[in-house]
Structure 1
Amino acid sequence: MVIFLGAVMPSCASAQTEGRKSISPASDVKGMPERELVDTPVPIVQKGRLPIKTRAGEFEIPIAVSRDWTKPQDDVTRAVVVIPGWPRRDLRSGEHAAEVAGAAASATVIVTPQFLTARDAAAHNLADNILRWGEDDWKVGKTSQDAAGISSFQVVDEIFHQLANRAIFPNLNTIVLAGHSAGGQFVQNYAVLGRGEADLGNALVHVRYVVANPATYLYLTNERPDSNGDFSPFNAAWCRSFNRWNYGLQAGIPAYSPRPSSIDELKTRYLLRDIIYLLGTADNAPDGDGQDQSCAAEAQGATRYTRGRAFDAYVHILAPHTTQQVFEAPGIGHSSYRMFSSSCGLAALFDSLGCDSASE
């Protein structure tokens, strides 16, 4: 069941039926190149609204929540927050995974925000206080293109704040922030820069990050993999953007407060976080749809799968005893629904048994 927040909304039953008819695993198959899809208004906007206070007043972002988080939910012990992909359409991949997981997800609340663009807002005649970002901006934490001017990361901060409310979720002990493709980039970037864990206050909640099939990774130093799988300082003369945000931390870090005191602080904090890199072994086409083929991306490897394996190796060089690990979904390509509902996807999201491809 999807709960819709806000003062005046359609009934839950009618809105839920609308969403399930229009958004299904089949919608993960795109009928046009991803870049064109990204630039096309979304067919559906989440009916729920999450209010966010800003210096310019109160703004809102569309959101779906599988429980009514305005009332106590004593049985909920886990929250899974799913960041949709670049086209902003795969809105039920988290709910679909929970359905497949069955009993393992029975004590879980699924939260899915939707980052909209100006085209989306215009197509659906949305109010001026609905947050909106540039098509390429929300996934890397840049500021919204409205009067609020806030980083997309602040949306996750507010979701974490809502989940940490012990009056609503007195027994919540785990938050999983998961994203696929551009959503995976968002999650990995947020794991580096985000302040949500610090804002949980006295709530004893463990946070896990699930980074699934992103096009690229945010590196913490200037090393990149070579053809032999070794890591060495990259020659910037070959690609001047290789270490800029969101490929690296040299420059271009988005305006998001508080600013980090040092790159070393970000690096140390990131390596201590619980992160699972969820990779589809069939997401291995060098010219795949939506694949980043810039020089900065190519410096990380040829395909999404090889870039993920390389980044995992890099993390273990930086911190040999890190708990971060790779879960591989055999034979699965670039699909959020299939990735999250695979055995390893369910293990990453809900700690289900059955994933035998985990490696450290």
Structure 2
Amino acid sequence: MHKWLLALLFIGGTAQAAGVDAISPGRLQLQAGEMAVGIGPAPAKIERVLIVIHGKLRNAETYRKSGESAAELAGQTANTLVIAPQFLNESDVALYSLPASVLRWKGNEWMGGGLSTGPNALSSYAALDEIIGRLSDRKQFPDVKQIVIFGHSGGGQVVQRYALLAREQPALKAEGIRLRYVVANPSSYAYFNEQRPVAFDHAQCPGFNRWKYGLVDPPIYSGGQTPAQLEGRYVKREVIYLLGQQDTDPQHPALDKSCAAEAQGAYRLERGKLFFGYLLRRHPEGANQRLVEVPGVGHNGDGMLTSPEGQKAIFDQ
């Protein structure tokens, strides 16, 4: 058994209450504190790790199970480990009387790379860095060839923005490990400059280009890199935009309807296609990225993960 998996501390059953519906049972010790995490069965030979990022509901176990279903449908359970980090907030920790050692964030600030409020300050993106860093450690994971980070809805927002800001990890290249980002049905994207596909009143929407919709005032995690530097690295990263063809409701209750988001399109499918068009116009030579539409699926994380298109995006099926 891998040392890293043995380091997971398990607590009792998942209680039900208002707020987050369940606390993931695993604990991953990071430098700043313990991260709640859901983890699937570990195959004897782990060649791929699927990291599934939950959305605003913070329902990591739901997404972990969907990730496991996708691996099973793709016939990849023999070599794929599924893990689902859980970005808890302060209300979750209070509600479940969790130990002070468990990492937590204020509200939804984890989505934009914000710093944890306890037990120590850690960007949610730096937490992902640490997880990926461990997975690239050949002493613990000698067989890993690929890491896939998948996020749907709010998780899709996290994955797109993390792909934009993520620090380089030399160990990945040195060990020949491919890192892929799969961005599924987010409400909005972080643009590189002030261009937007939909006309709007700039005076009525002063924050349209501020983080997390643009690169003005990015989080501390960005390390002072310029927008040009961030964009240059982003287009070299392997990103798949996975969009449900039925995710077309401009009044969807979970859709971001702020002016900054509306400037990107009317609904999620349109926003994704417009962002990808913007990307290709700025990089006609071809970025290391592609857009894949999923027929018959709307705003449904399980449907996106387990669809034939989702399986292909994650498992190269």
* TM value normalised by structure 1: 0.80
Counterpart secondary structure, 1:338: helix
What residue identity is the alignment partner of 1:328?
E
1:300 corresponds to:
264
In 2, Cα distance between equivalents of 1:5 and 1:44: 22
Residue 196 of structure 1 deviates from its aligned partner by 5.5
Q: What is the aligned-residue identity percentage?
A: 38
Most deviating of 187-196 and 270-279: 187-196
Matching of residues 33-182 of structure 1 within 5 Å:
40-54=18-32, 59-68=33-42, 75-89=45-59, 90-91=62-63, 92-101=65-74, 103-182=75-154
- The equivalent residue for 2:302 is 337
Deviation at 1:67, TM superposition (A): 4.6
- Contact 1:191 1:209 (8 Å CA) reproduced: yes
In 2: Cα distance, 1:141 partner to 1:239 partner: 23
Letter in structure 2 aligned against 1:325: R
1:174 to 1:76, Cα distance in 2 relative to 1, 3 A = same
Tell me how far 1:199 sits from its aligned partner.
5.5
RMSD, aligned α-carbons? 2.3
Equivalent-residue separation in structure 2 for 1:241 and 1:41 (angstroms): 29
Match in the other structure for 2:166? 194
1:140-289 alignment to 2 at 5 Å?
Answer: 140-195=112-167, 197-198=169-170, 200=172, 202-226=174-198, 236-251=202-217, 253-256=218-221, 259-289=223-253
Which residue does 1:27 correspond to in 2?
none
Query: 1 CA distance for matches of 2:231 and 2:170?
Result: 16
The answer to whether the 8 Å contact 2:240/2:313 transfers is: yes
CA distance in structure 2 between the partners assigned to 1:75 and 1:236 by the alignment: 54
Tell me the secondary structure at the aligned position of residue 288 of structure 1.
coil
In the aligned structure 2, how far is the partner of 1:144 from the partner of 1:338? 31
Displacement of 1:99: 2.1
Aligned-pair distance for 1:75? Answer: 2.3
Does the 8 Å contact 2:38/2:83 carry over to 1?
Answer: yes
**Mean alpha-carbon deviation: is it higher for 209-218 or for 42-51?**
42-51
Match of 1:319 among 283, 297, 300: 283
Contact kept? 1:160, 1:196, Cα under 8 Å: no
Calculate the TM-score normalised by the size of structure 2.
0.91
- Matched letter for residue 299 of structure 2: H
Q: 1:224 to 1:8 in 2, by over 3 A?
A: closer
In the TM superposition, what is the alpha-carbon distance from 1:311 to its structure 2 partner? 0.6
Query: What letter is aligned with 1:348?
Result: A
CA contact (8 A) 1:6 1:48 kept: no
Q: Any idea what the Cα deviations from partners look like across 1:138-187, whole Å, max 9, x if unmatched? A: 11111112241211111111110110110222221111111000100000
Relative to structure 1, the CA distance from residue 343 to residue 197 in structure 2 (aligned partners, 3 Å threshold; closer, same or farther) is farther
Following the alignment from structure 2 to structure 1, what is the Cα–Cα distance between the partners of residues 168 and 19?
30
